[in-house]
């Protein structure tokens, strides 16, 4: 064999080897399984106003993983937890670390619509899906965005006509001035006005309070009381909800019926609000008293582990676990971010504690919404379902 021929063969072999190394490197860059382990990033607020919500979200997701022996579809699951914080910039930094350093195959959780809006462009650039279990605003690109919770404007829209038909007169509307709060209040206001309702606030527009800094709501409530409002509708959550409810009962508006997005009295906030929350009517897609097999099992398991009833935040994160479990189980081959996203597209109905639901065209649940009232359930105050209000989602 000539020297030239041997040199050519060595060069060809080197090219093949180099191509194989490049392909291997490319595969290693694809977030997902490593030695049959799938990393999932859990991004929830572990500090700030929504800290208690983040803890509930974490408990719900981790309960599902534990119940399935830390395995989805035979693959070991490793959960990497990160703090969403209060500011969108903090959320983006935490999500970027999950994707770039921790190499997670998907991101789960995220309580705030503003945080969702901040992190989704980065996730899209890296082709990593988000399975959100908190509020979600309307987004232009939802190719890799799924949520097991709600669209932020649906909550108020579900109760608006009921309030219009029940209240004889104008309604005062108040909420926090950030994206999630604006979306929540807009959903109620637009549907309420379209149904013929009148806004009592000055100028016919809702009142927005600075967020997260507002802790004194009395001046705002005094203005609403003087407006002639026959009822009030609001959205607050976490520690802000506790401040609002306690001050409502001390304010000039204390005798005006209060309607709310259910986050106002959800989870640990209700226990902190105590008797001040009694008789508040709220709207939500879940209550622990819903009578179906999936919910009975969920409530029993959650209560056994945490000695308290689950709430919406825990339930939606529990369902995020179910979605990922079913998606990963359906994958034939390597579990990658892209494979997970494609598998979610093919999922049908999810058997959930809230009742069966499925993803609509906007990658959000088509689901029922319920009217609830804070009243005694045994020896404690609870959000008791009064009636079904609407089925929303598309």
Q: How many CB atoms are closer than 10 A to CB 189?
A: 24
Vertex 267 angle, CA 71 and 154, to 5°:
85
Write down the pTM of the prediction.
0.86
Residue pair 107/133 in contact (Cβ under 8 Å)? The answer is: no
Q: HEC profile for 323-349?
A: HHHHHHHHCCCCCEHHHHHHHHHCCCC
Q: What sign has the CA pseudo-torsion 75, 80, 81, 87?
A: negative
Asked if 235 contacts 155 with a C-beta cutoff of 8 angstroms, the reply is: yes
Give the CA dihedral 253, 257, 263, 268, nearest 10 degrees.
80
| Interatomic CA distance for residues 354 and 318, integer angstroms | 11
Q: How far apart are CA 7 and CA 3, in angstroms?
A: 6
Tokens of 329: 């189980």
pLDDT at 36: 85
Task: Scan for tokens 């049959």, then name that residue.
Answer: 36
Cα–Cα nearest to 67, from 371, 338, 318: 318
Hey, what are 132's tokens? 């959100």
Pick from 248, 331, 310: nearest CA to 56: 310
Radius of gyration of the chain (CA): 24
Per-residue pLDDT of the chain (394 residues; tens, 9 = 90+): 443 344 344 444 433 333 333 333 333 334 444 458 999 999 999 999 899 999 999 999 999 999 999 999 999 999 999 999 999 999 999 999 999 999 999 999 999 999 999 999 999 999 999 999 998 999 999 999 999 999 999 999 999 999 999 999 999 999 999 989 999 999 999 999 999 999 999 999 999 999 999 999 999 999 999 999 999 999 999 999 999 999 999 999 999 999 999 999 998 899 999 999 999 999 999 999 999 999 999 999 999 999 999 999 999 999 999 999 999 999 999 999 999 999 999 999 999 999 999 999 999 999 999 999 999 988 889 999 999 999 999 7
**Can you tell me whether residue 251 is helix, strand or coil?**
coil
Residue-wise pLDDT for 226-279, tens only, equals 999 999 999 999 999 999 999 999 999 999 999 999 999 998 899 999 999 999
The structure tokens listed for 344 are 């979610």
With b for 16 or more beta-carbon neighbours within 10 A and e for fewer, the 52-87 pattern comes to bbbbbbbbbbbbbbeeeeebbbebebbbbbbbbbbe
Neighbouring C-alpha atoms within 13 Å toward the C-beta of 291: 2
Average pLDDT score over the chain: 91
Contact 310, 294 (CB under 8 A): no
The structure tokens 């000539």 sit at 2
């Amino acid at each position: 064999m000539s020297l030239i021929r041997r040199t050519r063969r060595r060069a060809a072999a080197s090219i093949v080897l180099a191509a194989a190394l490049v392909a291997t490197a490319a595969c290693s860059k694809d977030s997902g399984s490593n030695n049959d382990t799938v990393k999932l990033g859990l991004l929830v607020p572990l500090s700030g106003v929504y800290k208690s919500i983040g803890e509930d979200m974490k408990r719900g997701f981790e309960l599902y993983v534990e119940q399935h022996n830390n395995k989805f579809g035979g693959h070991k699951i490793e959960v990497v937890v990160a703090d969403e914080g209060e500011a969108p910039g903090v959320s983006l930094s935490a999500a970027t670390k999950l994707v770039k350093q921790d190499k997670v195959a998907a991101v789960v959780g995220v309580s705030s619509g503003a945080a969702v809006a901040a992190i989704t462009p980065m996730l899209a650039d890296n082709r990593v899906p988000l399975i959100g279990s908190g509020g979600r605003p309307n987004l232009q690109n939802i190719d890799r965005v799924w949520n097991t919770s709600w669209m932020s404007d649906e909550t108020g829209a579900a109760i608006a006509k009921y309030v219009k038909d029940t209240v004889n007169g104008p309604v005062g509307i108040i909420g926090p001035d950030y994206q999630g709060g604006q979306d929540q209040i807009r959903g109620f206001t637009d549907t309420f006005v379209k149904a013929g309702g009148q806004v009592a606030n000055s100028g016919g527009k809702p009142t927005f309070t600075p967020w997260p800094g507002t802790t004194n709501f009395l001046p705002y409530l005094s203005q609403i009381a003087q407006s002639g409002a026959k009822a009030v509708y609001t959205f607050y959550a976490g520690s802000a909800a506790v401040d609002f409810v306690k001050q409502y009962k001390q304010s000039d508006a204390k005798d005006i019926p209060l309607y709310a997005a259910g986050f106002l009295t959800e989870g640990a906030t209700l226990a902190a609000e105590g008797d001040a929350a009694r008789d508040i009517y709220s709207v939500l897609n879940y209550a622990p008293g819903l009578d179906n097999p999936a919910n009975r099992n969920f409530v029993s398991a959650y209560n056994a582990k945490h000695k308290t009833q689950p709430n919406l935040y825990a339930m939606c994160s529990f369902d995020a676990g179910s979605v990922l479990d079913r998606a990963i189980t359906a994958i034939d081959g390597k579990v990658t971010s892209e494979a997970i996203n494609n598998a979610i597209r093919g999922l049908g109905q999810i058997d959930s504690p809230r009742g069966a639901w499925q993803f609509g065209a906007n990658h959000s649940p088509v689901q029922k919404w319920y009217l609830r009232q804070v009243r005694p359930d045994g020896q404690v105050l609870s959000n008791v379902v009064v009636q079904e209000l609407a089925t929303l989602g598309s």
